[in-house]
Amino acid sequence: MANFKQLVRDDQALGALRNTLLLTVAIVVVQNGIGLLLALGVHTRIRSRMVLRLVFFAPVVVSPVMVSFLWKFVYNPAPDAGLNAALGAVGLGGLRQDWLGDPSLALWSVAFTVIWQCAGYSMVIFLAGLEGVPAELHESAMVDGAGTVARFRHITWPLLAPAVTINVMLSTVGGLTLFTQIIAMTNGGPGYATDTLSTVLYKQAFVYGKFGYSTAVALVLAIFVAAVTFLQIGYLRSRETTA
């Protein structure tokens, strides 16, 4: 019980909870939004659609550690390296930043890395949902004069409900338990700016040797993930029923 009381008063843990929630919201919204747009784009009859599917999905099969070190190089704070060099080359040198060293940017830089790698996974799931939408429904709607937006809103989107459920659930759990990219890119820094509950759990157990406290953090994280997942699946499944 003492460990749980300490957890409630621990500013680092509370900050990590805030970071975890912000990362999760950003990943769920942006990753799935991009995944849906990519799926809609490669679902068309363009001749290069198979190549584009391969290109967009390729980052998914790369190790998260390798992706993290790749983007750590991209985020190199030196003005003549990585993203800063590219910004300078196109005349946007004023936008150069210390992407992983600035506490106000580090968390979002990590989030972008995760989204870049995983958007292709969301794309594939949405693409599978799009393949299951009967073409006859679109043809009938076109005969009735429905435009592209109206067909998407009233036909495609409701029938994508199962794909939305899967993507939202996977990205939510991934965001709430994010660990590898944080450790590889920032180790929770600068300061505690990118710490999540998973990194706090790891540090308390294997850096500071506070196994009792880390167990309390792990239990809270597990209960929190289970509660969020339970609420999400209840809402999303009801949406599938009514879609």
Domain of 84, CATH number, reads 1.10.3720.10
What is the mean pLDDT of the segment spanning 50-55?
94
Helices then strands, each counted (H, E), the chain:
14, 0
d(CA 52, CA 45): 12
What is the mean pLDDT of the segment spanning 65-85?
95
Helix (H) or strand (E) holding 114, with range, is: helix 106-131
d(CA 233, CA 243): 15
**Confidence check: pLDDT of 143 > 90:** no
Other Cβ atoms within 10 Å of 227 Cβ, number:
10
Give me the number of domains the chain comprises: 1
Mind listing the pLDDT tens digit for each residue in 7-22?
A: 888 899 999 999 999 9
User: pLDDT at position 241, please?
Assistant: 53
Closest by alpha carbon to 229, among 146, 153, 166?
Answer: 166
Mind listing the pLDDT tens digit for each residue in 183-218?
A: 999 999 999 999 999 999 999 999 999 999 999 999
Range of the domain at 207: 2-242
pLDDT band, residue 139 (cuts 50/70/90): confident
User: pLDDT at position 135, please?
Assistant: 86
**Confidence check: pLDDT of 30 > 70:** yes
